[in-house]
């Protein structure tokens, strides 16, 4: 260093020669965490992912992102019980994001604008049989078709939709919406055979030269309870009442209708009876908080004038009345008879006590195991018989439409892998983006947008849809309430708050990169990231 002044080691110039990254003991890394909504969704939707596109107003891209996992957003936006909203971190801030309402908006936009589902790029040459055209079967049909397989759906009923049509009343799911989303799957090239019952699954597979089968026949057989009754008393089951609502001959229930049971089906049938001019009373043996039906549905039913007799069982049915016995809960929470009786006038009794699976088609299938009335499947949704998979209400599970749709997707992935001679391995789950990971200072308060409800008179007398949808501006507002938990949404905070300019902004949609030459590891970016998408990890050397 002969030409430099005393104590000077560097050439004149910028400080860029000074690589301050060497000071670091911890380094920031960008991560994607699993948002709680995605983590909870039974259909495995990437909710944060599709909301991201909806936030930009790119609804078609949002819809395409959504339908990668679930082909039925317009249906979901009406009948899904949206456990995602219960898990939403925003709920701890003001109110959860109205995920379900945005999903419905996207689904309705797709129907309105005629958006099409993606068709496969290559055909596999394999042929898969699907038995049952309910949520699970049609979801599997969609995913298998998308993966390039030929798909034939065989359905015993006259129309597509299964329980979505024959179990869910019109006022919750208008039939034009259901038809539109079912037909869109058919339009991908899925073959459908209606009014055809499969009696012997192996024979049907052999006959049609199917390479694999997915069984999703649902649970349609109403459970019965023994009620001593007179000859003229009218006792029917909820499944057949709801099913006959779809046909020409509407069920004759009379004015005073007693519904026996406490699940969502009991509520559905009571609300249906109300709309037909009856005065329904639900008789349920336990208390409201023990009722399996969702509370908002109980609330809506009561608003419409459905009466509920809690802690009661039916002892006997006569031709114009029934006798109920009062119950009380014991210390374990089980209802016990009290010996107090009461008489209620009744023109008919509708039993809504749950449903069983019709397993007739599975006789003589080697290896297949049935326990407690449902078909046993392994972690890959395959029954004990190789190549025969099952899902939806006919396997051990909680029963609802979203779970059925999720089963369809999961089964499709496993069937696809099985057809290729491999096993499907789900990618590892990211760490969940819990509320503590967020820096909520950055989110401004914005209350949830409430969807319009049909007025009470029309709810009591017509089958018009009860819950309205969002319009463009409210849907956009609602989508933009998403906190984007655990996933970068390009707010530029890290880029801004770094005192060392060690964050490189890559441009719209490309996120950011750290410049470890200069990053001193102060951790400010991680602390000030609103959505918890930066992690600090110790340096190794």
Partner 1 sequence: MSFQPVKFYQTGTFTVGNRLLVPEERSVQANMERTNSLNSGHRACQGCGEALGARYAIDAAMHATNNQLIAANATGCLEVFSTPYPETSWQIPWMHSLFGNAPAVATGIAAAIKIKRQKGLKDDVRVVAQGGDGGTTDIGFGCLSGMFERNDDVLYICYDNGGYMNTGVQRSSATPPAARTATTMPVGQQPGNVFGQGKFMPAIAMAHEIPYVATATVADLRDLEHKVKKAMTFRGARYIHILVPCPLGWGAASQDTIKLSRLAKETGTFPVFEAEYGELTNSSKIRRVLPVEEYLRPQKRFAHLFGKTPAVATLVRLQALADKNIRKYQLLDKEAN
Which residues of the chain form contacts with partner 1 (CB under 8 A)? 8, 10-20, 23, 55-56, 441-444, 446, 477, 480-484, 489-493, 495-502, 505, 507-508, 515, 517-518, 520-524, 526-528, 530, 536
User: Considering the complex, what minimum distance in angstroms separates the CB of residue 19 from partner 1?
Assistant: 7
Nearer Cβ to partner 1 (94/200)? 94
Characterize the bridge pairing of strands 355-356 and 221-222.
Answer: antiparallel
Nearer Cβ to partner 1 (54/466)? 54
Whole-number Å distance between alpha carbons of 296 and 271? 13
Among 439, 441, 413, smallest CA distance to 425 is for 413
User: Considering the complex, what minimum distance in angstroms separates the CB of residue 498 from partner 1?
Assistant: 8
Nearer Cβ to partner 1 (244/439)? 439
User: Considering the complex, what minimum distance in angstroms separates the CB of residue 215 from partner 1?
Assistant: 44
Characterize the bridge pairing of strands 281-283 and 257-260.
Answer: parallel
Whole-number Å distance between alpha carbons of 522 and 499? 9
DSSP E strands, 140-255: 150-154, 191-193, 212-215, 221-222, 235-237
DSSP state of 495: H
Nearer Cβ to partner 1 (346/526)? 526
Nearer Cβ to partner 1 (61/294)? 61
User: Considering the complex, what minimum distance in angstroms separates the CB of residue 26 from partner 1?
Assistant: 9
Among 69, 32, 78, smallest CA distance to 47 is for 69
* C-alpha distance from residue 440 to each of 82, 306, 479 (Å): 23, 42, 17
Helices within 187-253 (DSSP H only): 201-208, 238-244
Q: Are 211 and 198 in contact (CB under 8 A)?
A: no
User: Considering the complex, what minimum distance in angstroms separates the CB of residue 28 from partner 1?
Assistant: 10
* DSSP string computed for 116-129: -PPPPSS----EEE
User: Considering the complex, what minimum distance in angstroms separates the CB of residue 536 from partner 1?
Assistant: 8
Whole-number Å distance between alpha carbons of 74 and 80? 10
Nearer Cβ to partner 1 (226/441)? 441
Whole-number Å distance between alpha carbons of 347 and 255? 6
User: Considering the complex, what minimum distance in angstroms separates the CB of residue 1 from partner 1?
Assistant: 12
* C-alpha distance from residue 252 to each of 180, 255, 273, 349 (Å): 30, 9, 10, 11
Nearer Cβ to partner 1 (281/482)? 482
Nearer Cβ to partner 1 (51/151)? 51
Q: Which helix (H) or strand (E) holds 317?
A: strand 312-317
Helix, strand, or coil (residue 296): helix
User: Considering the complex, what minimum distance in angstroms separates the CB of residue 484 from partner 1?
Assistant: 8
Burial class (CB in 10 A: 0-12, 13-18, 19+), 131: buried
User: Considering the complex, what minimum distance in angstroms separates the CB of residue 478 from partner 1?
Assistant: 9
Nearer Cβ to partner 1 (21/42)? 21
């Amino acid at each position: 260093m002969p030409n430099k002044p005393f104590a000077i080691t560097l050439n004149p110039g910028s400080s860029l020669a000074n690589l301050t990254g060497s000071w670091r003991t911890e380094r920031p890394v960008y991560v994607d965490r699993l948002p709680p909504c995605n983590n909870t969704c039974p259909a495995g939707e990437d909710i944060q992912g599709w909301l991201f596109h909806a936030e930009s107003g790119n609804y078609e891209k949002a819809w395409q992102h959504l339908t990668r996992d679930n082909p039925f957003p317009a249906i979901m936006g009406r009948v899904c019980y949206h456990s995602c909203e219960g898990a939403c971190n925003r709920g701890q801030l003001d109110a959860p994001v109205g995920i379900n309402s945005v999903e419905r908006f996207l689904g309705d936009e797709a129907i309105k604008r005629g958006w099409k589902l993606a068709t496969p790029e290559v055909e596999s040459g394999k042929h898969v049989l699907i038995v049952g055209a309910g949520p699970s079967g049609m979801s599997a049909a969609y995913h298998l078709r998308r993966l390039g397989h030929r798909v034939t759906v065989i359905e015993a009923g006259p129309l597509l939709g299964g329980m979505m049509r024959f179990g869910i009343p019109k006022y919750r799911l208008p039939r034009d919406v259901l038809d539109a989303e079912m037909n869109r799957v058919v339009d991908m090239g899925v073959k459908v055979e209606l009014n055809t019952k499969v009696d012997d699954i192996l024979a049907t597979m052999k006959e049609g030269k199917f390479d694999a089968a997915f069984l999703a026949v649902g649970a349609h057989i109403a459970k019965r309870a023994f009620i001593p009754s007179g000859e003229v008393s009218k006792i029917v089951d909820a499944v057949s009442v709801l099913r006959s609502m779809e046909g020409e001959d509407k069920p004759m229930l009379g004015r005073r209708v007693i519904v026996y049971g406490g699940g969502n089906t009991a509520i559905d049938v009571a609300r249906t009876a109300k709309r037909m001019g009856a005065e329904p009373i639900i008789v349920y043996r336990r208390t409201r908080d023990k009722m399996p039906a969702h509370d908002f549905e109980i609330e809506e039913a009561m608003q419409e004038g459905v009466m509920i007799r809690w802690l009661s069982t039916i002892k006997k049915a006569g031709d114009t009345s029934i006798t109920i016995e009062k119950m009380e809960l014991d210390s374990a929470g089980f209802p016990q008879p009290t010996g107090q009786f009461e008489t209620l006038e009744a023109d008919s009794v509708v039993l809504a006590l749950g449903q069983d699976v019709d397993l007739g088609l599975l006789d003589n299938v080697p290896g297949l195991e049935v326990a407690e009335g449902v078909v046993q499947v392994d972690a890959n949704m395959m029954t004990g018989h190789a190549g025969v998979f099952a899902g939806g209400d006919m396997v051990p599970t909680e029963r609802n439409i979203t779970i059925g749709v999720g089963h369809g997707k999961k089964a499709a992935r496993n069937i696809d892998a099985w057809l290729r001679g491999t096993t499907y391995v789900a990618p590892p789950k990211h760490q969940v983006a819990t509320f503590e990971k967020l820096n909520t200072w950055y989110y401004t308060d914005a209350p949830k947008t409430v969807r319009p409800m049909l007025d009470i008179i029309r709810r009591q007398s017509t089958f018009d849809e009860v819950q309205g949808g969002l319009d463009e501006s409210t849907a956009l507002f609602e989508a933009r309430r998403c906190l984007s938990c655990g996933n970068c949404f390009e707010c530029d905070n890290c880029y801004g708050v770094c005192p060392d300019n060690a964050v490189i902004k890559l441009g719209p949609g490309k996120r950011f990169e750290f410049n470890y030459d200069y990053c001193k590891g102060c951790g400010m970016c991680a602390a000030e990231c609103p959505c918890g998408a930066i992690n600090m990890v110790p340096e190794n050397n």
